[in-house]
Amino acid sequence: MCGICVPHCPTFSLTGNEADGPRGRISLMLGISQGGLEPDASVRHHLDTCLTCRACETVCPSGVRYGRLVDNGRARLAQTETPEARPRAQGKPWRLLRDQLLTRRRRLGMAFGLYRTATRLGLGGMVRRLAGPIGRALPRRPADPVGTPISGIEPTRGSVGLFVGCTGGAMNAPAARAAESVMRAMGYRVVTPGDQVCCGAMHAHGGEPAAASSLRARNARVFAGKDVDTIAVVGTACRSELGALETEHGIKVREITEWLLERPSDEWPALGALDQHVAVHTPCSQRNHLKSPDATRQLLERIPRLTLTDIDGNARCCGAAGLQALLYPEEAERLRAPKLESIASIRPDAVVSANVGCATHFAAGADLEVRQPVELIAESIAAAKS
């Protein structure tokens, strides 16, 4: 194996350990599959701490699909009889957290609403300290649940299904409302099924591919009966996971930024000026999975007088990586630190990221306003109407 990918791996950059890079992890997985290596806690740690950012895939001259390999490797570890060798996400506390809260939109929404209230009362810091590793991942400035209102027009251009996700729908409701408002302003009927479920990304990366596939199939059934042309997804991570619906069920899926960029000019309402300066973050799911690293910038460049500055090191993972910021908070915070330093030097009015997990990770590390690109589009449309 050539090793071109190794210096691009964020976890290798933290430890300098070959086993914490793509080449080393592939060697570990080969050893396990060929029977020459017994899985133990050390092997688990090396495979577990991979962020599945897929930066290695973008530079691999052989086109190795490393992300699929490591997901399969974790699934294999999940079946081992040695408990300490199973992925940390398979531990009972984490599975309970995931299955009973993080993937339950209503429950998570209620819990986050209580945290938002506590923050307004000046008790946010205390809640974060008492909540342990979960508290470390909570945003210091929770998003206001009220989005930018926009009047729609007669829906004559088709129907779009809106997938808001579990964490995104609960913790970033303004982005979901903005997406719905913008699509209605363009003349589309928007359907947001209340019985949609988790996209399955946390399960897929945690060693449970069958559970992830089951959740995708359930979402396919939910949207199949709604007579929609496309499913628009708020958030690049969910979009990356739900993209499989196109091949598995023949359902067209687009992240909301992608969907907006595909719209012809005659569908766009007028955009008003926004005198703001925003720091632009490019999530790994957008850059490496969806292969659209410039999508956020291309979309926001349409807004008059909006100043955009890219965060330094956008090609390097911020450390959020789904559940990783909860499972391995120290590593996640070390990867986040240089990005927060870059944001501080930019001194923006807000940070913009198309990934809910990354946005929450940034907001947990500093007192920042972090928004989705579609929120600024909604604000610009509203500005043109005022």
Overall average pLDDT of the 211-221 stretch: 92
In the chain, the percentage of residues whose pLDDT exceeds 90 is 61
Residue 334 has pLDDT above 80, yes or no: yes
Residue 117 has pLDDT above 90, yes or no: no
The span from the CA of 256 to the CA of 356, in Å, is 13
3-state secondary structure of 127: helix
In the chain, the percentage of residues whose pLDDT exceeds 70 is 96
Assign 24 a pLDDT band (cuts: 50, 70, 90): very high
DSSP string over 55-94: HHHHH-TT---HHHHHHHHHHHHHT-S-GGGS-GGGSHHH
**Lowest mean pLDDT, pick from 88-102, 150-164, 207-221, 283-297:** 88-102
**Do 215 and 197 meet the contact criterion of CB atoms below 8 Å apart?**
yes
Overall average pLDDT of the 108-120 stretch: 78
Q: Residue 132, class by beta-carbon neighbours within 10 Å (0-12 exposed, 13-18 middle, 19+ buried)?
A: exposed
Q: Which is higher by pLDDT, 270 or 76?
A: 270
Overall average pLDDT of the 300-322 stretch: 96
Buried b / exposed e over 71-107, threshold 16 CB at 10 Å, is bebbbbbbebeeeebbbbbbeeebeebbeebbbbbee
Report the predicted TM-score, pTM, of the whole model to 2 decimal places. Answer: 0.89
pLDDT of 182 reads 96
Q: Which is higher by pLDDT, 11 or 173?
A: 11
Architecture (CATH level 2) of domain 269-385: 3-Layer(aba) Sandwich (3.40)
Residue 190 has pLDDT above 90, yes or no: yes
The span from the CA of 113 to the CA of 372, in Å, is 19
Q: Which is higher by pLDDT, 335 or 43?
A: 335
Q: Which is higher by pLDDT, 157 or 93?
A: 157
**Lowest mean pLDDT, pick from 34-43, 116-125, 157-166:** 116-125
pLDDT of 147 reads 54
Q: What is the pLDDT of residues 145-189, one digit of tens each?
A: 655 556 666 778 899 999 988 876 677 788 999 999 999 999 999
Structural tokens at position 320: 């959020």
Any long-range contacts for 15-20 (C-beta under 8 Å, 24+ apart)? 17/46, 19/46, 20/46, 20/49
Q: Which is higher by pLDDT, 35 or 375?
A: 375
Domain 159-265, CATH class in plain words? alpha beta
pLDDT of 155 reads 77
Assign 234 a pLDDT band (cuts: 50, 70, 90): very high
3-state secondary structure of 255: strand
Assign 92 a pLDDT band (cuts: 50, 70, 90): confident
**Lowest mean pLDDT, pick from 14-18, 124-128, 232-236:** 124-128
Mean pLDDT of the chain: 89
pLDDT of 146 reads 54
pLDDT of 132 reads 72
Distances 53 to 22, 95, 192, 272, 281 between C-alpha atoms, Å: 11, 22, 29, 35, 14
Assign 266 a pLDDT band (cuts: 50, 70, 90): very high
- Highest mean pLDDT pick, 87-91, 133-137, 357-361, 376-380: 376-380
Overall average pLDDT of the 350-368 stretch: 93
What amino acid is encoded at 287 in this protein? R
Angle at 82 between CA 78 and CA 85, to 5 degrees: 60
Residue 110 has pLDDT above 60, yes or no: yes
pLDDT of 81 reads 65
pLDDT of 3 reads 85
The contacts of residue 194 (CB under 8 Å, 6+ apart) are none
Assign 61 a pLDDT band (cuts: 50, 70, 90): very high
